Amino acid sequence: MVAFNRNPWPQSPESAHRTMKTPKPKQWTDREVQQLSKLARTGAGVSKIAAELGRHAGSVRRMARTIGVLLKK
């Protein structure tokens, strides 16, 4: 019997059982939030804060908005 598959790429038996898991965002610690707030008060920009915390700039902006901190562009 011939199985017709709509997927143009062949699929190995091993990959048929694997599923891609979406990465979960890293949780912010209280210390990181305090450091974000402190750095923002000193006038540090988003990219400097992101580098200091080891976070993406978008993540820093999102957390700053969540806690009500204004960031320098």
CATH number at 56 reads 1.10.10
In a domain, 59, yes or no: yes
**Structural domain harbouring 40:** 28-73
In a domain, 50, yes or no: yes
In a domain, 19, yes or no: no
The number of domains in the chain is 1
- Is the pTM higher than 0.75? The answer reads no
In a domain, 71, yes or no: yes
In a domain, 20, yes or no: no
In a domain, 56, yes or no: yes
Structure tokens at 8: 């143009």
Q: 9 falls in which pLDDT band (50, 70, 90)?
A: low
26-63 residue pLDDT tens: 899 999 999 999 999 999 999 999 999 999 999 999 99
